[in-house]
A and B are shown apart, each in its own frame.
Chain A
């Protein structure tokens, strides 16, 4: 920030310094504002209302598509969840197979070492 005690400042520098002062003060004021409980309450209510409106909008659009016998978002989500469940099971089976394969390999190494 420019040094305002210096009398040699040009008008442009003075304007700039004033602007930066104002910006810095505004930043502090807004940071204090957003830390107030009332702002938190406002944000919380806005988040809840937006969430509710989003859900209503999605449900409405889904209803429209379903009446046309086309899969809506909810159907795709349900299908994706089923795929995820299958993937979870497959992952666990793969890990078991890998563990067994490691076990067999270790036993074979032991046997080879013994013989």
Chain B
């Protein structure tokens, strides 16, 4: 396209660009039909409808405490949930909802010992199963690891398989640690003042790790796409909507997370206690699949690697792939590359239905 043509098309392109940005909120995310199984406070457990169930072991998806779990089911044709249903899995999802100031006292103890524990219980009851597969992503993956490593007075968690996607275990080398790792930053005070940390502030901090890329390049690339006539509105809008949907982070959980991940790395030393019960990752003896992303700046791969030395599982697989923290699992290439490998790993470890 010549420069003259570009100038002539500028008004139309500008209108289309503005339209894509302004109608982003209208994009449909999380469209796969689902039913509410259980609710407690802000937490909701969903079960996805399936007519193609081939495996008896249900699969429970757990996302982070920042952003929404809709990323598991971003849009038709690019939805991990949709893919897993097609493959015959019985899929459940725990949604932490939108915690607000009244949830400020929700800590990691409450999320692991109550919400996740009860979601597991309800999943097993609904599926009529004895054990399930836990699939966690980002903070959700760490919560799943803590859940499996929690001292249960000799009892065993009803988890058969553990799938951990881009999981942080030791965040002391990440960009966040440079900001919040300093003891001068009074985390407790900020948590106390806010109650629950505003989602917008968390999102801003995430974006500030790569400021030019997030605040400029994303929009510049969209503009280039509009000019070239190949802007993919159906791909851009659901992801942009998901990125902008930021629930508040309960203050107590946030302060605990900072301490656990960026200051103390207590999971490495078995020093974490939830409700006076010790979390020891050596208790993890399930079949474990860990997926790490080479260009992950939120949970860099070196921060996940110590996990392998801590657990006692004999059936462990590590899929080290290129890609980013979210793009690796939710990107357009995942459907043909990563998801089939994940499904094959799960199929071998999820008993077929009778």
Contacts and interface: CB of A to CB of B under 8 A. Distances in A.
Interface of A: 12, 23, 26-27, 30-31, 34-37, 39-41, 43-44, 47-48, 50-52, 54-55, 73, 77, 80-81, 84, 87-88, 91, 95, 98
A48 B197 CA distance: 11
Contact of B193 (A30, A36, A54, A80): A54
A84 B103 contact: yes
The 7 closest A-B pairs by CB, nearest first: A80-B102, A51-B193, A44-B185, A27-B212, A40-B179, A30-B211, A55-B193
Interface stretch (B139-147, B213-221, B235-243, B342-350): B213-221
Contacts of B213: 27
29 contacts: A23-B212, A23-B216, A27-B213, A30-B210, A31-B211, A34-B211, A35-B178, A37-B178, A37-B182, A41-B182, A41-B185, A43-B179, A43-B205, A43-B208, A44-B184, A48-B186, A48-B189, A51-B190, A52-B193, A55-B194, A77-B100, A77-B195, A80-B101, A80-B102, A84-B102, A91-B40, A91-B118, A95-B121, A98-B125
Given A23-B217, A34-B211, A81 B102 contact: yes
B275 interface: no
A52 B195 CA distance: 11
Nearest to A29: B212
A23 B217 CA distance: 8
B182 A77 contact: no
B193 A44 contact: no
Contacts of B105: 81
A54 B194 CA distance: 8
B101 A77 contact: yes
Contacts of B121: 95
Contacts of B100: 77, 80
Contacts of A52: 193
Given A23-B216, A77-B102, A81-B102, A40 B178 contact: yes
Contacts of B193: 48, 51-52, 54-55
Nearest to B185: A44
A12 B103 CA distance: 55
A73 to B, nearest CB: 7
A80 B3 CA distance: 60
Contacts of A80: 100-102
Contacts of A47: 185, 190, 201
A11 to B, nearest CB: 9
B175 interface: yes
Contact of A34 (B101, B102, B194, B209): B209
B222 interface: no
Contacts of B40: 87-88, 91
B208 A27 contact: no
B180 interface: yes
A27 B220 CA distance: 13
A48 B211 CA distance: 21
A41 B178 CA distance: 9
Interface in B4-28: none
Given A40-B185, A44-B180, A30 B212 contact: yes
A36 B182 CA distance: 12
